[in-house]
Structure 1
Amino acid sequence: MTEYADRVRVAEAAARAGADVAAGGFRTGIAIEEKGQKTDVVTQADRDAQRAVIEHIRQEFPDDAIVGEEDDELKAVPESGPVWVIDPIDGTNNYVRDIPVWVTSVAAVVDGEPVAAANAMPALGDYYTAGPDGAFLNGNELAVSEKTDLDRFVICPTIWWDYDRRDEYSRACEVIVERFGDMRRFGCAQAVLGMVAAGSLEATITNVEVNPWDTVAGVYLVRQAGGTVTDLEGERWTHESQGLVASNGTRHDAVLEAAQEIEQIRTA
């Protein structure tokens, strides 16, 4: 799999380049814009960081497609060919509140499958990478949690439930505290997926539609660290799936059942 070594290297370098730009605006009182909803915000740092990521990728892969959250980049992953999936600041709501849990995310995808990923968290000094040889945090190889006791599981409900779907959000929290040991929420899907890969969390669940820039890199991290990621039907997760269930794999069936309970409210 050495054919993807260059993409692993470029993913990490591009994520670091974008993260450096974003870090320059962190905790500086940067202006905030709303993209449509009061909780969907963007800053100039998002745009500047995305440009820095793209410029870095284009130096070595000038013809590859790019899927990105901001500006006029593609919003869906092509079925074939090489593509880069980027999020300049995943967790912008944390970013503008001076909370250091945010990520500059870059993933390389070939024919619909991730082959490299990098999630940079400069405010915490954490840099996640993944390639064919595994997943790493600050150069140290990652492995998912080995816990099997559901009473010891810590699970995060992730992605945003809109205001008209708060009953699903409430149910997500309810099923987690009913079925598992504890719950966390961080407001940054890529950070959460990194935590599952690192064994800090046993799982994360959502039933909502997910964007590729919020998920692809982190899903690859989890899988390369030995975890399991499926859709709500228990089928292998892809960038076109609805919902996302990522776990350490030891009790994925129980985690999946919890996610399905959330979805039952939507379809009732």
Structure 2
Amino acid sequence: MTGYADDLALAHTLADAADAVSTARFRALDLRVESKPDLTPVSDADTAVEREIRALLAEHRPADGLLGEEYGAQPATGPGGRRWVIDPIDGTKNFVRGVPVWATLIALLEGDRPVLGVVSAPALGRRWWAAEGAGAWAGPDRTAGEPIHVSAVHRLADASFCYSSLGGWEDGGRLDAMLGLMRDCWRSRAYGDFYGYMLLAEGALDVMVEPELSLWDVAALVPIVTEAGGTITDLTGANSPAGGPGTEHSAVATNGPLHADILARLARPAER
């Protein structure tokens, strides 16, 4: 295990606590759902999970910084530029409709580099985790993990292509490129949110792309995809997902051999 063993153990503890809160509210008849200023939904489960994680981090890592989707940024008071990035429920729209594809995302960043990620999807009975230099793992919980690895597919004609939705691809003139990829790949499916990236890390599919997402949507995914042998960048090919609250990101995740081809196919005409 790397020097992040203690941090990874804490991240699992955070995920256990989050799972207890979120599963108790999943499909609850009295679930409260409101709209945020950007018109995306937020449930009482989202806010309760983030409060629980914040309380545990205040107890165990009080000097670390923190960025959460619901309650914003808290600066670090200690050295090293460490900060935790939390999405209390990734897939809130699924959560509020009773669809079991949602997860708590927990990342640790050192500076701009995500060094640890945990993705816990209790309604699926599945958790994924990785720390820099320690490989990527998945299982029903921290005690029953097995190593995971991306696929070895080298041709688009053999590739399973995944995306969150077609919304957002038309902006910037990329919709035609997306449709072309969907036609040229072996198969395409829209699993959405964290799930496509985790299936990629397990080798169940070969490409996952999103045109718009926030840091808390992607930070925990980066160590898992890369430690599983994959590649994840933005649409320009830049490696770092880091940025402040409100920063919009994009993501292109592949098994590695397909990455350059996918970037070239999705580039705007002026970038080719």
Q: Report if the CA contact (8 A) 1:84-1:109 is conserved.
A: yes
Secondary structure at the residue paired with 2:124?
coil
Secondary structure at the residue paired with 1:24?
helix
User: Distance in 2 between the 1:141 and 1:69 partners?
Assistant: 29
Secondary structure at the residue paired with 2:100?
coil
Deviation at 1:180, TM superposition (A): 1.1
Determine the structure 2 residue equivalent to 1:222.
225
Instruction: Indicate yes or no: 2:39 matched with 1:32.
Output: no
User: Distance in 2 between the 1:20 and 1:171 partners?
Assistant: 43
Structure 1 residue aligned with 2:215, among 195, 212, 225?
A: 212
User: Distance in 1 between the 2:161 and 2:35 partners?
Assistant: 29
Give 1:181's aligned amino acid.
Answer: W
Instruction: Indicate yes or no: 2:176 matched with 1:175.
Output: no
Q: Report if the CA contact (8 A) 1:152-1:180 is conserved.
A: yes
Give 2:62's aligned amino acid.
Answer: P
Deviation at 1:57, TM superposition (A): 2.1
Deviation at 1:179, TM superposition (A): 2.4
Instruction: Indicate yes or no: 2:203 matched with 1:203.
Output: no
Structure-to-structure mapping, 1:58-207, within 5 angstroms: 58-74=58-74, 81-131=81-131, 132-138=133-139, 139-158=145-164, 161=167, 170-171=175-176, 173-188=178-193, 190-207=194-211
User: Distance in 2 between the 1:34 and 1:160 partners?
Assistant: 22
Deviation at 1:52, TM superposition (A): 1.3
Instruction: Indicate yes or no: 2:230 matched with 1:236.
Output: no
Determine the structure 1 residue equivalent to 2:257.
250
Secondary structure at the residue paired with 1:3?
coil
Determine the structure 2 residue equivalent to 1:18.
18
Deviation at 1:51, TM superposition (A): 1.1
Deviation at 1:74, TM superposition (A): 4.9
User: Distance in 2 between the 1:252 and 1:215 partners?
Assistant: 17
Deviation at 1:165, TM superposition (A): 5.1
Query: TM-score under structure 1 normalisation?
Result: 0.86
Q: Report if the CA contact (8 A) 1:41-1:92 is conserved.
A: yes
Give 1:101's aligned amino acid.
Answer: V
User: Distance in 2 between the 1:264 and 1:211 partners?
Assistant: 25
Identity %: 31
User: Distance in 1 between the 2:74 and 2:161 partners?
Assistant: 32
CA shift digits 1:7-61 (9 cap, x unpaired):
11111211221122111111113122111355x1000100001111122222211
Deviation at 1:107, TM superposition (A): 0.6
Deviation at 1:122, TM superposition (A): 0.1
Determine the structure 2 residue equivalent to 1:42.
42
Secondary structure at the residue paired with 1:178?
helix
Q: Report if the CA contact (8 A) 2:215-2:241 is conserved.
A: no
Deviation at 1:172, TM superposition (A): 6.0
Aligned residue pairs total: 257
Residues 16 and 222 of structure 1: is their aligned pair in 2 closer, same or farther, counting only changes over 3 Å? same
Give 2:15's aligned amino acid.
Answer: A
Deviation at 1:146, TM superposition (A): 1.1
Secondary structure at the residue paired with 1:147?
coil
Give 2:251's aligned amino acid.
Answer: L
Which of the two has greater helix per residue? 1
Residues 183 and 68 of structure 1: is their aligned pair in 2 closer, same or farther, counting only changes over 3 Å? same
Deviation at 1:237, TM superposition (A): 3.5
User: Distance in 2 between the 1:192 and 1:90 partners?
Assistant: 12
Residues 254 and 74 of structure 1: is their aligned pair in 2 closer, same or farther, counting only changes over 3 Å? farther
Deviation at 1:236, TM superposition (A): 2.2
Determine the structure 1 residue equivalent to 2:7.
7
